[in-house]
Amino acid sequence: MQILKDEGYKMRYATSGLKALELAQKDEIDLILLDIMMPGMDGFQTCKKLKEDPKTAAIPILFLSGKDSYEDIKKAYECGGSDYIVKPFIDLELKKKVAIHSELVTLKREVSNAKR
C-alpha cells in the first residue's frame, strides 16, 4: 500500500471480500487489487461478484497473490481479472501495472466522452 500511496494514488482497503464489495459499490473506485486467499469469500468469488454487478463491472481487477500455479492464474483471468501479479512482487512491476490499468480506465472514459 505504501508503494502506491507514494505514487500519489488514493487508497481504500478491505479485509474481506464482502467489505470489498461494499466499498466498491459505495465509493468511486478506479482499480481493485485483490488477494485470492481470504477467509470467507475468496478472491475469485469476489471478482466474479464484482463483474456481475453492472455498477462495478468496469473496474479493472489486478490479482495479487502468493499462489503462482498456472491453474490459479488462469482461473483469475477467467473470472474477469485484468492481470495477475505474483507475490512477493517487484515494486516497479506493481507500479507499472497499476499505472497502465488506471490509464486504460481514464482513456476509455475520455474516448466515450469525446464520442459524445
Q: Which residues would be at the binding site for other proteins (CB under 8 A)?
A: 70, 73-74, 77-78, 82-84, 86, 90, 92-93, 96-97, 100-101, 103-104, 107-108, 110-111, 114-115
Minimum separation from the CB atom of position 71 to other proteins (A): 10
- Identify which of residues 12 and 96 has a Cβ nearer to other proteins in the complex: 96
> Any idea which residue has 490509464 for its cell?
103
Relative to beta strand 32-34, strand 83-86 is unpaired
Give, to the nearest 10 degrees, the angle between helix 70-78 and helix 43-52. 20
Minimum separation from the CB atom of position 81 to other proteins (A): 8
Minimum separation from the CB atom of position 53 to other proteins (A): 22
- Identify which of residues 53 and 93 has a Cβ nearer to other proteins in the complex: 93
Q: Which of 40, 37, 83, 91 is nearest to 62 (CA)?
A: 83
Q: Which of 74, 72, 71 is nearest to 36 (CA)?
A: 72
62 in helix, strand or coil? strand
Minimum separation from the CB atom of position 64 to other proteins (A): 15
- Identify which of residues 22 and 78 has a Cβ nearer to other proteins in the complex: 78
- Identify which of residues 52 and 110 has a Cβ nearer to other proteins in the complex: 110
Question: Whole-angstrom Cα distance, residue 28 to residue 21?
Answer: 12
